[in-house]
Chain A
Amino acid sequence: NIVMTQSPKSMSISVGDRVTMNCKASQNVYNNIAWYQQKPGQSPKLLIYYASNRYNGVPDRFTGSGYGTDFTLTINSVQAEDAAFYYCQRIYNSPFTFGSGTKLEIK
């Protein structure tokens, strides 16, 4: 079974900073990766699909990159409302495994 490993587990960033978080797949998933944002008490929201495509209405400060086994989500000029958990997920094929998440806190 495929394993998705996210790092770091948490990070604390100031408003206006740039943040990068990582997702590593245990086998080649090509570009079949999505990123979701989840705030406390809410359902996950799709940010990025196929590794680098921004979903409808997602601010352009969110950028995804990577291919194969290594993927990155970058948030440029972090805003206070970006405080959340971020999850990567292998998509398109079963099993649709999620990573364990990265918690982003705003100082």
Chain B
Amino acid sequence: QVQLKESGPGLVQPSQTLSLTCTVSGFSLTSNSVHWVRQPPGKGLEWVGAIWSGGSTDYNSALKSRLSISRDTSKSQVFLKMNSLQTEDTAIYFCTRCRPLQGFFDYWGQGVMVTVSS
């Protein structure tokens, strides 16, 4: 069955780089896109960015200068890297699958909490 699981450090220092991994199973990254969505504590959902089945990427314009999304299809993993972290980047980070050709998010990971603090 389709599953996604996020992993990464729970605590990152300000100005440092965040590295997260989304490990997927039950579907192929070469025929599905994976997106990242984040949620600051007590706040709403924010679309972060995506890597499409062909390998191209799309980013939230507000984060684009600090953000990179990549993948390793052989390991069924998608990576998020965000640099120059600030306290406002403290959030739960979710990875989610976008159903091919339909454009909605049908499966979600459980999320990983990332705190930016010294």
Chain A residues close to B by CB (< 8 Å): 1, 32, 34, 36, 38, 43-46, 49-50, 55, 85, 87, 89, 91-101
Known interface pairs A43-B111, A98-B46; 5 further A-B residue pairs with C-beta atoms within 8 A, sorted by A's residue number: A34-B105, A36-B45, A89-B45, A91-B104, A92-B103
With the chains together, A77 CA to B36 CA distance in Å?
Answer: 34
A95 touches B60 (CB 8 A): yes
| A-B contacts, 9 listed (Cβ < 8 Å) | A32-B103, A43-B108, A43-B111, A44-B45, A46-B106, A87-B45, A95-B58, A97-B47, A98-B37
Interchain Cβ contacts within 8 Å, total number = 60
With the chains together, A105 CA to B100 CA distance in Å?
Answer: 34
**What B residues does A34 contact at CB under 8 A?**
104-105
B105 touches A98 (CB 8 A): no
| B106 touches which of A55, A93, A94, A99 (Cβ 8 Å) | A55
CB of A50 to closest CB in B, whole Å: 8
Q: Which of B40-77 contact A (CB under 8 A)?
A: 44-47, 50, 58, 60-61
With the chains together, A91 CA to B106 CA distance in Å?
Answer: 12
